[in-house]
């Protein structure tokens, strides 16, 4: 593994192939420090019957991504039905299983706590997805889920660019999370336990929001809504060509997706205790700044 600015570059070419313990430990440390782990030789193979899915017209009207839920086997957000929908779901499931094998080979210490969540396929160009400021992924942000509280668990994502037309996936990555949090935490209003209870009872969230979840949502929104910060904040530009993959803690790394299409994305959740260095988790950073527990 070698480091290139905000990137840590690991040259592997097979999903789930054995990785030397020392190499895996270096890569894991880089991820937990807030680097993007870039895998320039690792591509996801799209089978011939799956290639017709590589078009923006695969999306259902009004949707910006297609998702697969490994818990139910359900594929949502596409215009496909019947056997085509099943074939598309199988492709997304295969990517999710390969991404999980990769992480287990890379970071054996994560094995007990790692949980695979939804798989996403984003066939449309980022620039063709109109949205509000808070939903605009072209702006620097950290990931926080309005309806799915994490209570401090990590959000780890594996991406792969499968564009058949040579389109790069272009990102910007911002400053380290602790520096950002120190600036923005004073702007965020603490949540009330009664409000979190009511929102859960109304079915608006899957589980109760902790103080951490409320703060992360506030940080997400405050950062996106601050035009001066978006224009002047430190950032690095990254380009991920087709046939490459990358891994990042998206709850920690400030990131913006500026351009690209045909990206696969697999989300995982990981308890803070399973990390090699738990003190680097966003919840621990915010607790040190706030002076008290947040979940």
Give the chain's domains with CATH numbers.
2-290 (2.60.120)
pLDDT tens across 270-281, in order?
999 999 999 999
Q: What's the rounded mean pLDDT across residues 4-23? A: 95
pLDDT in the model for residue 192? 63
User: Beta-strand (E) ranges in the chain?
Assistant: 2-4, 7-9, 36-39, 66-69, 74-76, 115-122, 154-161, 169-173, 236-240, 245-249, 255-259, 263-270
The pLDDT of 61-68, averaged and rounded, is 93
Q: Is the pLDDT of residue 108 over 60?
A: yes
């Amino acid at each position: 593994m070698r480091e290139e600015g905000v990137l840590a570059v690991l040259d592997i070419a097979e999903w789930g192939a054995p990785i030397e313990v020392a190499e895996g430990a270096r890569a894991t440390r880089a991820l937990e420090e807030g680097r993007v782990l870039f895998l320039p030789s690792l591509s996801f193979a799209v089978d011939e019957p799956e290639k017709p899915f590589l078009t923006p017209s695969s999306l259902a009207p009004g949707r910006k991504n297609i998702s697969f839920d490994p818990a139910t086997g359900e594929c949502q957000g596409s215009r496909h039905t019947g056997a085509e929908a099943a074939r598309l779901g199988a492709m997304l499931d295969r990517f999710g299983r390969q991404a999980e094998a990769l992480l287990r080979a890379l970071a054996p210490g994560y094995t007990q706590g790692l949980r695979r969540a939804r798989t996403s396929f984003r066939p449309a160009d980022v620039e063709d997805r109109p949205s509000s400021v808070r939903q605009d992924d072209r702006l620097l942000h950290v990931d926080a889920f309005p309806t799915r509280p994490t209570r401090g668990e990590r959000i780890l994502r594996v991406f792969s660019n499968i564009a058949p037309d040579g389109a790069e996936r272009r990102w910007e990555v911002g400053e380290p999370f602790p520096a950002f949090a120190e600036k923005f935490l004073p702007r965020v209003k603490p949540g009330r336990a009664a409000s979190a209870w009511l929102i859960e009872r109304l079915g608006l969230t899957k589980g109760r929001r902790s103080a951490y979840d409320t703060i992360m949502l506030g940080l997400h929104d405050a950062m996106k809504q601050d035009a001066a910060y978006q224009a002047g904040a430190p950032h690095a530009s990254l380009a991920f060509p087709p046939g490459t993959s990358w891994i990042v803690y998206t709850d920690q790394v400030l990131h913006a997706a500026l351009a690209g299409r045909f990206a696969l994305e697999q989300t995982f959740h990981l308890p803070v205790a399973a990390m090699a260095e738990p003190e680097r988790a966003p919840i621990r950073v915010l607790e040190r700044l706030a002076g008290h527990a947040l979940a």
